[in-house]
Amino acid sequence: AQSVTQLDSHVSVSEGTPVLLRCNYSSSYSPSLFWYVQHPNKGLQLLLKYTSAATLVKGINGFEAEFKKSETSFHLTKPSAHMSDAAEYFCVVSYTGTASKLTFGTGTRLQVTL
């Protein structure tokens, strides 16, 4: 079975400092990995995706993530946090061949302070 673990339920950073949101996945096959962002009472928006091409994936709003197979990790980073980055972030895994089935992490709430 596929699963994904987000290691922090809550992360707080100051505006202008780096962001690191951690995600580990379990894998029997080659996974597709995603990060989605959710602002309060809104739907989810795709930030970036890894689908077996380049291991360093760049997404929207300056976010990027690196797929590390040896560590089964897919951490999300951003060099400099902005107040508008405050939201809930979900790490998501699916597997080629199991079309339609996504498995979501429990989410990391990012707080950005002045």
User: How many Å apart are CA 40 and CA 36, to the nearest integer?
Assistant: 13
Question: Is residue 90 at the binding interface for other proteins, with CB under 8 A as the rule?
Answer: yes
Q: Which of 28, 41, 70, 114 binds other proteins (CB under 8 A)?
A: 41
Question: Is residue 42 at the binding interface for other proteins, with CB under 8 A as the rule?
Answer: yes
Nearer CB in complex with other proteins: 9/84 = 9
Q: What is the dihedral of CA 40, 20, 79, 35, to 10 degrees?
A: -50
Q: Which of 13, 24, 25, 105 binds other proteins (CB under 8 A)?
A: 105
Nearer CB in complex with other proteins: 42/82 = 42
Question: Is residue 14 at the binding interface for other proteins, with CB under 8 A as the rule?
Answer: no
| DSSP annotation string for 13-77 | EETTS-EEE-EEEE-SSPEEEEEEEE-TT--EEEEEEESSS-SEEE-GGG-EEEEEGGGTEEEEE
Question: Is residue 101 at the binding interface for other proteins, with CB under 8 A as the rule?
Answer: yes
Question: Is residue 43 at the binding interface for other proteins, with CB under 8 A as the rule?
Answer: yes
Per CB under 8 A, residues contacting other proteins are 9, 32, 34, 36, 41-46, 49, 51, 90, 94, 96, 99-107
